[in-house]
Structure 1
């Protein structure tokens, strides 16, 4: 009898270990369980990031249905979610936030010392406003702990890659906590340049750091002060080649100038929270400064023909206040808030054209442009959820957003050849404003304790702006989307199996598109299309045996232009560019009490249409990655491999008048890393 009683706690512990953890998220600006949120939400925990060796925001697209990143390298990547995509020229459609603060160039963000990444698919305009019409990614970093601890990490891999990081955390006195995170890494890159024999195309050097202070001023009042720093260099930026050349794309770069890219980012934010009675006040103040520079050989040829040089400085200040209910037992929960953003963006562009090498028999000339833009955005918003009849949960929300923009552009006097080509001295000053009402409604029904179907609708928008390269000064208006969604969230087998699914339809109006100039050598932004996307998403997680975790996800999209024409060309019914029809992933993790660890992840990306005429596409591909190692009490050691079968694929294709260029995806990479904890 005594032996039986001693076994009961062990069985209970094993049962709990096999259950899928209850995940609490804050991406809806208040704490909530992921299974209770009436929309498509995915979460990647710190453990999953480590298990699958994912160290950047764009990497996690492998785990998120209908989330796809067009990777151009060096901080110019752009994303689509549910077929709602952006481009290199326009504002993003997926908002990326770190600890509730919007971040610029977020897709290339290194996930250093992160607690979890929350991904919300579909328009999030009510709570986030501008540039979140496709979805939101919310990165939550780790906070200072109540006792001193730390971690040291080292990694070496293919292409002379290495990375090291350190984390220290603990209390400074009774009320102040500190967490410091540092990371530095280098890689030669996987591109080879035929012109000079260099095998360092795509080289990267990067330093990231974070200081996080916490202050418990009283039982009800606390503050968080966070400073983030990033210093990134790509001294050999060249990573594009012509697609029609024989051989492997990554070995076909043949340029006389390798180029470079640099980015410095500094972000300072102050977070305050005060609880009084059944209410809570939240304040988030942030200042962000970005300095970026890129220089490219844009002709992709082994002779000096066309080079492009861009300098950009961005300074952003934002302030948000929220007042919300804090009684978790109340059937009525609510929040209201106000938001202010002020952004200055200065861009200088220089282009060099060597007409002699182009066969025109004339000397080279340069084009110099300077543009300055100021954006001021303000919003008020609110959202409330009411529970009635015990099982129904009705959510209503509304946001009013107003944005004002000022745009100044100066083009220096070009030479005679460029003047004949239509380039001329210009000074342009424009200003304008637009506003948007962004409603949301959702209804969830708790059919049983583990089954909750829901329906929702929401509106999102993407900011407009002014063209600064071609069609100078011409304004393009905001674009809007309506998202209609029905889904179900389920949990079975005593929380050992979880299955979430959703279907959606998105109506896209005043769509911003890149319209080619008459010669087809450049583009400008315009509201030239109407479109729609529809599809479904499925996510499954299971723990069938002790130490075994299985997961899978699938997304399907049919994204079409409803109305789109350029001159005599009509593209109605064509597939929208840069959107894979299908994405799929399947993976698993195994841990044994002995310390043995293994993980495997397969990701499939379907065909991606590249041009609006639907004549060019990126072929489908699949990538297999794995990791194996030993996990001890104070240290872990692993070996890993990405793209195990060395699949050849492209992450970006584009038209260059009579030819197509592209960027090769990462080939087979192998490496090893070790972690020490103290």
Structure 2
């Protein structure tokens, strides 16, 4: 056996002699070069396509528990907002946002469009944790989620799949892949997922007001234009037509709304990619992408109906006026984005001084986001429309060098300089034009301790651009809020850029003849001018704004392990521990400023875990069982309401008969109630709107189904 650490030798000594196939090594595609994850000097989780299928996952929210220290927030039909290591947005209403956690799908930047995270024909999902200041810049202060779909194949192949489940759900998909002509390969994949959802609207007598209707279509072409040039094209259509009726006055899955909302997204994206071996010294990697998206997000603002008080203490017959209010709030967004990324990557012959690997590149993105909001204006006493326009441009240069200091020690450095400019205008007359030059990067040391073990140390700097609180100020002025409140919001019209410094050490190793995999990371992050969400409520009126705290601290541990004691059994675990703190962040409660210093950050549970096993019972029958869960966490930085800790049990049984695969699956098998979003305000007319209350959105209950797939 090759030399390993004493602790691993002890573990090996305790293991009986057995034969097993080595666990597979996966490549990371989000780096400048595709590299094995054992050579990627940063904390990352790579979820393969087989795991996506085993969970029968149709959206990212059904996968993220596999990655330590990753959370998500709903407040919509899906978990559209992501948090990594306690950092990330939890909602978007009026104002434009720059996401802390980016989302890339087949080379296209979908950051801020979480409904796009449907899972169709997926090769792998990569969750990068910590600032990605060199690779991705402003969209990856906390991390990046990178989804890669399967590539066209040289041999003709395909599959058709259909499945049914409880809550009147069904899914149908098909994939065709293979050669189309000489040196031209193609792949076409389509999936339709439909479910009535898990809410019963008792007032309307319906069980589909929170339904899911998601269509994904993807086409790929790969042309080997010459021995040195490869061109590929990806065309993506995502059509999400979901309902949104998730909040109940009684915090259960029975709603009383008379005007259920919607959560739709129509996206068209085209990515053109070229890989050109320009000469013996470097190759050129270029991507041009166009993305156009229309989003409609709306809800019944009162969560009730006009008959809510009949026969109760708040009955209008007893008071002479209605205690209830009735209104809807709907947001229509159109986003157009043009992205270009051009990089030069050194070859073996192109190393500087014969030793230094290098990368240099230019990135540009021009994005326009138009908003139209239709809502009830309480000051005017009538429905009204609000509109805003936000244009932003980012142009960046980046570079990376890797220098071998010895046979086993490598020093890597990277830097990114990004010029950001934007213009915001709205119908209330609020305008602002934040612009600045930002920089980030990283320095890492990689030490190959032996043939099995890589140890790394990393210092990285990430950044997230500032923005505008146009809605909060305009709404407060229009509705004649107290002058002190208007003054408070006016001083926060523009909020500052946030910067995060990440200090990380880690170990990646494959032991026992590659039957044991360990991935361990410890990190400490210091956040400057931390961007936090605050809320101010005045009766049924509320405004949300982003403010800068002086600082924040996020530190923790991340462990991922896989162990295959015998050919037929694979054990796996992912465990995260997280400790966070807010410093010098003030919220407005009435006319009082409250200092939140010392409190945990929102959506940052102290622990999170996923443990399980894959068992091959015989040549045809396989089973998977897993348990994942997380600690309680605060719903918001502006109040102290918390979720409860929970653990969810999932399982699947797969039967393979030639080219036919049958899979019986179940998630949350114990039907555990858990929450994915929470608010705190007064919204119950039955209580005369007297006291603020915590209102929560429940995650998916027990779901189960049967899926059949035929491969050819």
Q: TM-score of the superposition, structure 2-length normalised?
A: 0.87
Within the candidate set 70, 78, 83, 2:81 is matched to: 78
Q: What's the offset of the Cα at 1:565? A: 1.7
Q: Structure 2 CA distance, aligned partners of 1:75 and 1:270?
A: 29
Gapped regions of structure 1 (runs ≥ 5): 1-13, 356-362, 411-425
Residue 106 (structure 2) aligns with: 99
- Equivalent position SS for 1:22: coil
- Equivalent position SS for 2:584: strand
Residues 79-114 of structure 1: per-residue CA shift (max 9 Å, x gap): 111111223133211111112221145533111011
Q: Structure 2 CA distance, aligned partners of 1:325 and 1:632?
A: 47
Q: What's the offset of the Cα at 1:298? A: 1.6
Q: What's the offset of the Cα at 1:599? A: 0.5
Within the candidate set 488, 505, 508, 2:507 is matched to: 488
Q: What's the offset of the Cα at 1:300? A: 1.6
Residue 196 (structure 2) aligns with: 188
Distance 1:613 1:239, change over 3 A: closer
Within the candidate set 532, 538, 553, 2:553 is matched to: 532
Aligned length, in residue pairs: 637
Distance 1:377 1:613, change over 3 A: closer
Q: Structure 1 CA distance, aligned partners of 2:299 and 2:161?
A: 34
Within the candidate set 572, 575, 579, 1:554 is matched to: 575
Q: What's the offset of the Cα at 1:610? A: 2.2
1:298 and 2:301 matched = yes
Residue 352 (structure 1) aligns with: 376
Residues 131-188 of structure 1: per-residue CA shift (max 9 Å, x gap): 2011111111111111211000101001000010000011111111110001112110
- Kept in 2: contact 1:230–1:266 (CA 8 A): yes
Residue 309 (structure 2) aligns with: none
Q: What's the offset of the Cα at 1:612? A: 3.3
- Kept in 2: contact 1:56–1:107 (CA 8 A): no
Q: Structure 1 CA distance, aligned partners of 2:535 and 2:650?
A: 39
**Bigger shift: 263-272 or 486-495?**
486-495
Residue 6 (structure 2) aligns with: none
Residue 627 (structure 1) aligns with: 652
- In the TM superposition, 1:146-161 aligns within 5 A as 146-161=154-169
- In the TM superposition, 1:223-238 aligns within 5 A as 223-234=231-242, 236-238=243-245
Residues 626-671 of structure 1: per-residue CA shift (max 9 Å, x gap): 0012123311001111111000111111112412211111111110
1:369 and 2:369 matched = no
- In the TM superposition, 1:129-140 aligns within 5 A as 129-140=137-148
Q: What's the offset of the Cα at 1:487? A: 1.1
Q: Structure 2 CA distance, aligned partners of 1:311 and 1:52?
A: 33
- Kept in 2: contact 1:438–1:460 (CA 8 A): yes
Q: Structure 2 CA distance, aligned partners of 1:140 and 1:611?
A: 32
1:543 and 2:564 matched = yes
Within the candidate set 389, 404, 411, 2:421 is matched to: 404
Within the candidate set 616, 620, 633, 2:641 is matched to: 616
- Equivalent position SS for 2:193: strand
**Bigger shift: 45-54 or 207-216?**
45-54
**Bigger shift: 377-386 or 589-598?**
589-598
Residues 569-593 of structure 1: per-residue CA shift (max 9 Å, x gap): 1111011112111101101111244
Distance 1:645 1:599, change over 3 A: same
Distance 1:387 1:436, change over 3 A: same
Residues 264-302 of structure 1: per-residue CA shift (max 9 Å, x gap): 000001000101213110110000000011221122222
- Kept in 2: contact 1:512–1:529 (CA 8 A): no
Gapped regions of structure 2 (runs ≥ 5): 1-16, 307-324, 475-489, 683-691
Residue 395 (structure 1) aligns with: 412
Distance 1:660 1:367, change over 3 A: farther
**Bigger shift: 170-179 or 587-596?**
587-596
Distance 1:346 1:75, change over 3 A: farther
Q: What's the offset of the Cα at 1:339? A: 0.4
Residues 417-453 of structure 1: per-residue CA shift (max 9 Å, x gap): xxxxxxxxx3233223111111210001111111221
Residues 24-74 of structure 1: per-residue CA shift (max 9 Å, x gap): 112112111101111101111111211232232222211100001112233
- Equivalent position SS for 2:42: coil
Distance 1:376 1:115, change over 3 A: same
Q: Structure 2 CA distance, aligned partners of 1:353 and 1:158?
A: 41
Residue 423 (structure 1) aligns with: none
- Equivalent position SS for 1:646: coil
Distance 1:159 1:633, change over 3 A: same
Q: What's the offset of the Cα at 1:17? A: 5.9
- Equivalent position SS for 1:127: coil
Distance 1:185 1:510, change over 3 A: same
- In the TM superposition, 1:279-318 aligns within 5 A as 279-303=282-306, 305-318=326-339
- Equivalent position SS for 2:138: coil
Q: Structure 1 CA distance, aligned partners of 2:561 and 2:211?
A: 37
Q: TM-score of the superposition, structure 1-length normalised?
A: 0.91
Distance 1:76 1:371, change over 3 A: farther
- Equivalent position SS for 1:471: helix
Residues 233-292 of structure 1: per-residue CA shift (max 9 Å, x gap): 12x4211123xx3xx7112x1111112232100000100010121311011000000001
Within the candidate set 460, 469, 477, 2:496 is matched to: 477
Q: Structure 2 CA distance, aligned partners of 1:147 and 1:490?
A: 35
1:343 and 2:367 matched = yes
- Equivalent position SS for 2:438: strand
Q: Structure 2 CA distance, aligned partners of 1:168 and 1:459?
A: 43
- Equivalent position SS for 2:63: helix
Residue 480 (structure 2) aligns with: none
Q: Structure 2 CA distance, aligned partners of 1:428 and 1:226?
A: 39
